[in-house]
Structure 1
Amino acid sequence: MGCDLQSVGEVADSVATFGRRYLDRVYTAGELAASGERPERLAARFAAKEAVAKTLRTADAALPWPSIEIVSDPGGWCGVRLSGPAAALARAQGLGEFEVSLSHTSEHAMAVVHVPVRSGRDAPVPKEAGTALVVQQDDQHERKAEDQL
């Protein structure tokens, strides 16, 4: 399990200071499109990436942030898609399907990620993506759904 809290203002400052360099280094094209590049939504996705990294227990190993992608479906539900080194770490540790919950205000964004450890040699481990219980909070409502990625 991992959780993280991010300052929306700090993300907005990074975008203002570093522009595309920051956005392209941290987020995928899909994340930028889904967030509309709004600072509170970017901060929520960054909090989720940090929370995923905590579940992967990377210690001192730096993961490329785009290898942890917070995906959205057309209904607005969010999930986690891993690629490259992040996916390799999850496979090596026998981690199962990631569950993610995001929320934000105008000042802070937070994310909680839970991932079970698969037991047994025959248990399948997702290669690049999995099923996630996802929660997205918009300005007025919190919604939940199961989504097969």
Structure 2
Amino acid sequence: MALFTEMRSYLAIAALFTAAFAAPVPVSESNASPNMYYLPLTVTVFNDVTGAHAAVGIDTSGHSFEFGWDLFSNSPLSRDGKIIATSMQLSFPDLPLPAGHSCGVYNGDKTIGQLDAQHTYLDLDGQPGKAVETDVTNFIVHCDIYVVGQN
């Protein structure tokens, strides 16, 4: 009987951890609308010269992610400690991206571009129509996208 009780305790704890990690991310603890959830997005960065590319999932809770430090340091885009790329693509597999929401890509104070439901591709090298390898190590992507409703 003691083994059965102990096993139930472990199962209950495992169920709590599973529920906690599987739950969608609420917009904020103090938000009056409990039905707001952030969308998971996938960002794929390409080096169109070499064919190298890497995809990462990012959260859209308003955090900024640096290409080099946070996202692509151990990817095929990494060369001699730098992230070398030419373009990027945004995808959102779970739901359509809500209108009016976007992700910004920045290099210091300079805006490289915005990605949204209508514009999912971004040229990172600044030369549309031409693939030029560019050091994007310090580029930042910042998204603040949420949906209202049941997840």
Q: Which is higher, the Rg of structure 1 or of structure 2?
A: 2
When normalised by structure 2's length, the TM-score is 0.31
Which is strand-richer, 1 or 2? 2
Which is helix-richer, 1 or 2? 1
When normalised by structure 1's length, the TM-score is 0.31
